[in-house]
Chain A
Amino acid sequence: MNGLLGAQLRMIYRARGDYLAPVIFYVLVASLFPLALGPSPRLLSLIAPGVIWIDATLASVVAFAGLFRDDYDDGSLEQMLLSPRPLELIVLVRVFAGWVSLSLPLVLLAPLLALWFSFPPPILPVLLVSLVLTTGCLTLLGALGSALTVGLRHSLVLLPVLLLPLATPVLIFGAHAVLLAERGLDPRTPLYVLAALFFLALALIPKATAAALRVALEV
């Protein structure tokens, strides 16, 4: 499995231009808010959690729409399905490689965004922990959405419609944890719920994604 992960990461590195665009999109969207709403630190730090979450969700949806699209187009999906290895495991490796290359940059850039939104620095750890869990859930959901729409045209429009309702609980608890921390309250409860959601997704989604990919290739 290590070899498979290495191969996936190498492919992503070779096509790094495609994977950089969602990250730039993420930074650009966040930078629009201070410009549009004015530079008032109070207002910005108030809306920061919501903005960062919506932004991360949109960037993830854009980024993961094509997770299996290339494999479908060049025929490697057929070969993946014929592999004697469990398809769920291949899917999981692919999702993890996708998370490292697309979501990890979003998490690492969050402190920069926090600076723009005059976000109080002591809350950064809470922000990062909840972003890691949120992006984990979003990556898994994105993989499922990508698998469900892989054979369709115009999936870039369909996918957000499909995914955003599913991403709502993740968004609610993720942003809520940061809001609580900002007010000096204990953010652990929403973080635990978020972690539970992540592990639920980790348990169920690879299997559902594998099934969706099999259906996509049916004659």
Chain B
Amino acid sequence: MCGQNMLDIEGLVLRRGRRLLARRIDLRVDRGAFAYIVGPNGSGKSTLLRVLAGFGRPEEGVIRWSGRTIGEWGGAYRGEVAFLGHLEGIKPMLTPEENLAYRRLLVGPTGWRVPTPSPFFDASALPDLPCQRLSAGQRRRVSLACLEHSAAPLWLLDEPLTSLDHDGVAALGGLLARHLMAGGTAVVASHQPLPPTLVPATVLELGTKR
């Protein structure tokens, strides 16, 4: 039915406040594949990713990860997910490497993985300054460096290409490809076109009249 590292969404209804965003979402993402979510602003892409991350419970519909619903996973689900949202999730007063060390403390030794052979996003290559003094693109690179060290199998990326330069976009392509190759799964929402090396297994369009 639903194997290891497989995401299966059935009949999910998305609401933000009282507004209905999506009537019925059915989506299945296999191990080693990723789904690409597109849609106009306000169509519920971020809401979908937040629900998948376990921030709030869906009113209707079932989300299964590796055969179990999020409710059945309980607290253990938190170790399965890496989430990159609109906010970078890094502390502005810490340097890039201190941010990496802090994230390592948060996820614990089992959730942490040193990228091999070499990282796509190298925090030590960034200026050794508090992140509030870095550019938006550099801060995003810190955030992606944290993501790269995550051992979580399910990656939820909300507009990951924001403020990245050409090299950064290519590096993200490499990073995601490596994650999928290792048997991971990902859901990516983005307005910008993905690097051509990345071919999504599924494209989900939100906000279209059906």
Contact = CB atoms under 8 A, between A and B. Distances in A.
A85 B50 contact: no
B24 to A, nearest CB: 17
A11 B78 contact: no
Interface stretch (A76-84, A135-143, A201-209): A76-84
Contacts of A42: none
Contact of B85 (A14, A78, A85, A214): A78
Contacts of A82: 53-54, 78, 81-83, 107
Interface stretch (B3-11, B63-71, B88-96, B173-181): B88-96
A17 to B, nearest CB: 11
Interface in B78-117: 78-79, 81-83, 85-94, 98, 101-103, 105-108, 110-111
B88 A75 contact: yes
B47 interface: yes
B16 interface: yes
B196 interface: no
A14 B56 CA distance: 33
Interface in A1-57: 3-4, 7, 10-11, 14-15
Contacts of B88: 74-75
Interface residues of A, number: 25
B105 A3 contact: yes
A3 B98 CA distance: 12
Main secondary structure of the interface of B (DSSP, over half): mixed
A108 interface: no
A4 B105 CA distance: 6
Nearest to B102: A7
A193 to B, nearest CB: 35
Given A4-B105, A74-B91, A74-B92, A81 B55 contact: yes
Interface of A: 3-4, 7, 10-11, 14-15, 73-76, 78-86, 90, 214, 217-219
20 contacts: A4-B106, A7-B102, A10-B98, A15-B93, A74-B91, A74-B92, A78-B55, A78-B87, A79-B83, A81-B78, A82-B82, A82-B107, A83-B78, A83-B108, A84-B108, A84-B111, A86-B75, A90-B106, A214-B55, A217-B50
Given A83-B78, A84-B110, 12 more contacts: A3-B105, A4-B105, A11-B91, A11-B94, A74-B87, A75-B85, A76-B91, A79-B106, A83-B106, A85-B106, A90-B106, A219-B56
